[in-house]
């Protein structure tokens, strides 16, 4: 399958991994938007949150807890962090393999505070 994140899961593409278990991998984003910018992904290819179903409920919970874990390990627990998943074109999703962004390490601009028009 022609998916960058599946290739990272398979080890065909390199990544700076910070966490891995049977179902999940977390690694540094290649173009960080904050001092800490990690991506948490399921090993199984799910294109986006929009493609998830009730059968994925446990996996989705585990992804959130993996995000909490890597955020803590990156030292973000006290000052805080953001977990976000871009879903579809209006959100600017570029990689169609479900991923949680974990952002922190500085004050973050708030993308959900108001709608931005061009």
Residues tagged active-site = 99
Asked if 26 touches ligand 5GP (CB under 6 A), the answer is no
User: Which part of the chain contacts Zn ion (CB under 5 A), choosing from 65-73, 75-83, 92-100, 101-109?
Assistant: 92-100
115 counts as binding ligand 5GP under rule CB under 6 A? no
Instruction: Please report, as residue ranges, which positions from 31 to 90 form the binding site for ligand 5GP (by CB under 6 A).
Output: 31, 86
Question: Distance between CA atoms of 39 and 99, rounded to whole angstroms?
Answer: 6
Strands of the 100-104 sheet, one edge to the other? 17-20, 24-28, 36-42, 100-104, 81-84
- For 108, the 3-state DSSP assignment is coil
- Size of residue set near ligand 5GP by CB under 6 A: 13
CA distance 2 to 25: 18
Helix H or strand E segment including 9: helix 4-10
Smaller CB separation from ligand 5GP, 75 or 111: 111
15 binds ligand 5GP (CB under 6 A): yes
Binding site for Zn ion (CB under 5 A): 3, 5-6, 45, 97
């Amino acid at each position: 399958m022609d998916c960058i994140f599946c290739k990272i899961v398979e080890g065909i593409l390199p990544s700076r991994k910070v966490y891995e278990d049977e179902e999940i991998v977390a690694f540094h984003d290649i173009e960080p938007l904050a001092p800490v910018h990690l991506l948490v992904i399921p090993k199984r290819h799910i294109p986006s949150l929009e493609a998830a179903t009730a059968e994925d409920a446990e996996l989705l919970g585990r992804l959130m807890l993996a995000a909490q874990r890597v955020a803590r390990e990156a030292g973000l627990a006290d000052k805080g962090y953001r977990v976000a998943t871009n879903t579809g074109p209006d959100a600017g999703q570029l990689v169609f393999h479900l991923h949680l962004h974990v952002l922190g390490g500085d004050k973050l601009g708030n993308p959900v505070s108001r709608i931005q028009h061009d």
